[in-house]
Amino acid sequence: MSLIGQGPKDNLIERFARHVSSGKAEFFSQVGVDFIFGKREGVYVWDVAGERRLIDCHCNGGVFNLGHRHPRVIAALKCALDELDIGNHHLMSEPRALLAERLANLCPGDLNRVVFGVGGGEAVDTAIKLARGHTGRPKVISAHGGYHGHTGLALATGDEQYRQPFEPLPGGFVQVPFGDLGALEAAIGDDTAAVIFETIPATMGIVLPPEDYFAGVRQLCDCFGAVMIIDEVQTGLGRCGEMWGINTYGVIPDILVTAKGLSGGIYPITATIYRDHLDRFLHDHPFIHISTFGGSEVGCYVALEVLSILQEPGFLEHVRQMADLFRDGLSRLQSKHSRVLVEVRQRGLMMGLKLADPAYGPPMTLAGFHFGLLTLYANHDQSVNQLLPPLTIQADEVGQVIESLDKMLTWLENR
Ligand SMILES: Cc1ncc(COP(=O)(O)O)c(C=O)c1O
């Protein structure tokens, strides 16, 4: 019997509201969204109740970089389950050694060492702990409107609206405008442990920094002995047309955080990857950071398969080709719908559609449910619709996305 659609949808929504999140159920009912993931395959997700089908251009921020239920990723998990389980996190581990070695080989410079985790926020917390442990300094600088997760230290780097109810949070966290080197220069000092930025902040609205920004960040970190942390949770693993988004800016951070896509959409696993010179602290305190499920051994084999797929000859070239198709299509849409679509932001398949008014973002997302597309507006700039299709998308499917967007923008114009 299928696990999907086991009862009437109304009843399912009621049970979700009663036992999972009454607030979410109320919100979605008010905005008129009743879509619930049912069957899913490749770039498509179907509603639990039947025929309605969307192309997933949200992909949970990159979790579904390889599309839904990639057969090779599923096979890797099934195969790992024949012999392994989660393993013991205190002991040494073959799968963790193999995956860490592979990640190191895929990273630039001497980003050679890995701490595994389960979620992206946890991986960011680990990065900040390492930076503070290594430098013995308190200050952590992040971007206004950025997003690094909702766990302890990651939460402290983030937006006021999520922090405020949980205060007091750990001290030492300050924020600067993203892309502004002068502001960073004014904030950084001898007390700075770390500077943390997303390569392209997604929740901020897919904001592309000036091309020389990260070289400047690198220089300032070097000058003050601060650790440069780059959050590649959304931009990494091929999303920007290179293995890591930061590669496209020609800069090597001290710590690189990867999460979402490493799971293949199948088994959660994250990695905080750091340079050799930061190792002294964790070498001296090997049990100071613990994660029972971090680097689960079966998850390591899932991640290894994800990386093998990304490393296949032609994979990144395919991403760049699809990005070119999107560039052409979106530029046509911008000319046609110039009143509502005012800017296209793009690096590889990391894309954002800047609309003329923040009030347009939510209805644009709603329109997607009617015209076959799952896209979400950026929470910290609701004038931007995030567009992150699976990297495995094919040319005809890019055509379908552009067609849907055309209908959505037409609907928005005529509202
Ligand atoms: C850039 C970035 N960093 C960190 C996180 C946190 O990841 P998680 O939700 O797995 O804790 C997210 C999640 O959306 C993210 O987009």
Q: Cα of 260 to ligand 1 centre, how many Å?
A: 7
State the closest ligand 1 atom to the C-alpha of 122, by its place in the atom list counted from 1: 11
Q: What are phi and psi of 270, to 5 degrees?
A: -135, 165
Choosing from 232, 234, 267 the residue with most ligand 1 atoms within 8 A of its CB, the one to mutate for a pocket test is 234
**120 Cβ inside 6 Å of ligand 1:** yes
Sign of CA dihedral 14, 9, 377, 30: negative
As a residue count, the chain comes to: 415
**149 Cβ inside 6 Å of ligand 1:** yes
**121 Cβ inside 6 Å of ligand 1:** yes
pLDDT for 258-297, tens place per residue?
A: 999 999 999 999 999 999 999 999 999 999 999 999 999 9
Q: Cα of 256 to ligand 1 centre, how many Å?
A: 13
**Angle formed at CA 179 by CA 178 and CA 180, multiple of 5 degrees:** 95
CB atoms within 10 A of CB 379: 18
- Which of 197, 145, 143, 219 shows the shortest CA–CA distance to 174? 143
Residue nearest to atom 3 of ligand 1 (CA): 148
Q: Cα of 123 to ligand 1 centre, how many Å?
A: 9
Q: What are phi and psi of 85, to 5 degrees?
A: -140, -145
Q: Cα of 47 to ligand 1 centre, how many Å?
A: 25
User: Does residue 21 register a pLDDT over 90?
Assistant: yes
pLDDT for 91-144, tens place per residue?
A: 999 999 999 999 999 999 999 999 999 999 999 999 999 999 999 999 999 999
Per-residue confidence (pLDDT) for residue 51, from 0 to 100: 84
Q: Cα of 149 to ligand 1 centre, how many Å?
A: 5
Q: Could you give the count of Cα atoms lying within 13 Å of 361 in the half-sphere of its Cβ?
A: 19
Query: 411: buried, middle or exposed (CB in 10 Å: 19+, 13-18, 0-12)?
Result: middle
pLDDT band (50, 70, 90) for residue 65: very high
Per-residue confidence (pLDDT) for residue 307, from 0 to 100: 98
- CA–CA distance, 402 with 389 (Å, rounded to integer): 12
3-state secondary structure at position 404? helix
DSSP state of 42: B
* Helix locations, 149-244, DSSP H: 152-156, 160-163, 181-187, 213-224
Q: Cα of 407 to ligand 1 centre, how many Å?
A: 31
pLDDT band (50, 70, 90) for residue 155: very high
Per-residue confidence (pLDDT) for residue 241, from 0 to 100: 98
State the closest ligand 1 atom to the C-alpha of 62, by its place in the atom list counted from 1: 16
Per-residue confidence (pLDDT) for residue 5, from 0 to 100: 87
- CA–CA distance, 86 with 102 (Å, rounded to integer): 19
- The contacts of residue 372 (CB under 8 Å, 6+ apart) are 53, 54, 55, 400, 404
- The contacts of residue 407 (CB under 8 Å, 6+ apart) are 367, 371
User: Does residue 327 register a pLDDT over 90?
Assistant: yes
Work out the percent of the chain whose per-residue pLDDT is above 70.
100
pLDDT band (50, 70, 90) for residue 50: confident
CB atoms within 10 A of CB 32: 9
**233 Cβ inside 6 Å of ligand 1:** yes
Helices 22-31 and 9-19, packing angle to 10 deg: 130
Joined tokens for residue 241: 């047309």
**119 Cβ inside 6 Å of ligand 1:** yes
**126 Cβ inside 6 Å of ligand 1:** no
- CA–CA distance, 195 with 192 (Å, rounded to integer): 8
pLDDT band (50, 70, 90) for residue 374: very high
**67 Cβ inside 6 Å of ligand 1:** no
Residue nearest to atom 7 of ligand 1 (CA): 120
Joined tokens for residue 296: 């689960």
How distant, in Å, are the alpha carbons of 55, 88, 237, 284 from that of 304? 26, 19, 12, 28
pLDDT for 225-256, tens place per residue?
A: 999 999 999 999 999 999 999 999 999 999 99
Per-residue confidence (pLDDT) for residue 389, from 0 to 100: 98
| Global confidence as pTM | 0.98
